Structures are given as C-alpha cells and as structure tokens.
Amino acid sequence: MNELLRVEQLGVVFHAARGRVYAVDGVDLAIAPGEVLGLVGESGSGKSVTLRAIARLLHEEAHITGRVLWQGRDLLTLPARALEQVRGAGIGTIFQEPMAALNPVLSIGLQIDESLRAHTGLDAAGRRARARELLDLVGIADAASRLRQYPHEFSGGMRQRAMIAIALAANPKLLLADEPTTALDVTIQDQILRLLLRLVSELSMAMLLVTHDLGVVASTCDRVAVMYAGRLCETGPTAQVLHAPRHAYTDALLRALPGEGAARARLQPIPGMPPRIDHPSPGCPFAPRCTHAEPRCDRERPAMQDVAPGRASACFAQDRLGVAA
C-alpha cells in the first residue's frame, strides 16, 4: 500500500494523581492517499487521544512514544517550527465540538484568515477571496456576509461546516476528523458526512475518522480499525470486518446493535464495564467481558496477526468467530 501516514507502536501515558494512565498502548496504523480509515470503539477507548497524538496536540504532560511517519519524517521528533508547517498545510483537523474549538471573540472570516496567512502566500485580497471560496465549498450560503459573523451566530451544523472550511484552508493531504457529527441531529449528521466524503473525493485527500458509530463507519469508511482500552483489536476492509468479525469485541459490538429481526427483539448488550486503564491487564483487556474467553486470555496478551489479506486481529478466538468475506 502506498502510505501517506504510518503510525508505529504509538503509546500515550498520562501522569495522574492515581498513577500512570495508559490511554494508548502500542497502536499501529497506516493510511493511503485518498483513503477513509475509521477508528471506532466505545467512549474512553483512546480514539481521540490517538488522533491528537498523531498531530502532537496533547498537553505537555502527556508522554508519547512510538513513531508517526509523515513523508519520511517522524512528527513526534519534529522541531516545533517544522511541525507548525505540517499542521494545516499537510494535516488538517476537525475537532469534536466546534463551540469549544472556535474562538468566540473572533469572526469566522478572521479565523480562516489566520490559517491562510500561516500556510499560503496570498495577499489580503487573495485571502478574502479564498475564504469566500471555502465557505461556498462547504455549503454556507451568502459567504461574504457570513465571514463577518461570529461562531454564536451560526447554527450547530454551520459551525461544523466553518470548522471544516478552516481545516481545508491550506489544502491538506490528510484530514483528522474527531467525531465531527456527534453533537448534531441526524439530518445534519448525514449532510456533514456526505460533505466530507465529497471533499475527500474532489480534493484527493485521505481522512482518519474517529467515531463510536458503526453505522457511520459502514457508510463512509474504506477500512476500519477497532479500538478497546487503548489497544487495536482488529483492522481490515470495512465490509469484511462488519460482515465477519474476527475479534470478540468487534463481534460483541455488532451483536449489541439493533438488527433486522423482530421489532421488540431483545438486544445483546456487552456485559460488565470497560477496564481501568491505570491498571492495564497483562492479558486481553476484553477478557472479563468476553463470552469467548479462555484461561490464557487473562494471562497472555494476544498479538495482532494477519487473518486474511488486508485483515488483522488480536484475539485467541479469531478462528471461532467467522471467516473473512
């Protein structure tokens, strides 16, 4: 695979009052140009921390290990000035909550202009024209007047579109999208997802999409990586993973979804609670909740292994769970 970004053994540890918190533990990812990769899992599984670690957007107290290779350079060791050029120009980021990410005292036009000044050689007139073009691109009408408005004057969907416009200002090759539709109603969610897919196609970008919604993954992602307790469980083409999961956690997630059976059929929730990540298990972190667990699952950490071309799983029960599509 021709890789745009490669993440190798990414780890993130926070030092808290109760001890070390292992938020991300040995994550390996690769994204190809033009590809949409979904990173999915329960809340607290480490998805957003992984995304922020890739762009080095975590607090200084976070201890990040591993490698994040971008065009032959490791972003984790890149000097601050060089990293600033990668952010925005090479990698754009869409954050989960636009009202928390957008500056409330600056107009939308000025916030787009800041990115254009940092990453392009456009003069003032050129930046104004580009800002209007960006709002048109993301579907915000009457761009000239909207540029003078502030975030609180936009609806939730429009704020998300404005944030996408800022992320696209310098024509990045990779878009990091951290649950971009979480706070929106279903209709606006669909509009934003369709917009992102259209932009990925038209602008020849790749996208790493963080979500907890398997329905979103099914409709938008070429490949999916399933995450639990800071570790990757399973990766592969989306249709294959969702049709024939090869990890017990993926299988449990799918069984917990409403199916096509009787309207009042009982769902199959995952029993128990996610593990405490300040006390990582020596074995599989999903073992206490797993219906396929065997004695060694508590003692041994299953390694990520290829189970089919383009697919990998870290589960001792992988052969009992399904056959790759």
- pLDDT of the residue at 259: 67
**69-80 burial, b if ≥16 CB within 10 A, otherwise e?**
bbeeeebbebee
Q: Which residues pair with 268 in a beta bridge?
A: none
| Of residues 168, 175, 170, the one with CA closest to residue 120 | 170
CB 47 within 8 A of CB 227: yes
Count of Cβ atoms closer than 10 Å to residue 123 Cβ = 9
pTM (2 d.p.): 0.91
Q: Residue 174's pLDDT band (boundaries 50, 70, 90)?
A: very high
pLDDT digits (tens, 9 = 90+) for 213-240: 898 999 999 999 999 999 999 999 999 9
Report the pLDDT averaged over residues 292-299.
Answer: 93
Give 187's Cβ-side CA count (13 Å radius).
Answer: 2
Rounded to whole angstroms, the Cα distance separating 2 from 135 reads: 32
pLDDT digits (tens, 9 = 90+) for 116-163: 999 999 999 999 999 999 999 999 999 999 999 999 999 988 999 999
Residue whose entry in the numeric block shows the structure tokens 């995304």: 51
pLDDT of residue 325 exceeding 70: no
* AA identity, residue 98: P
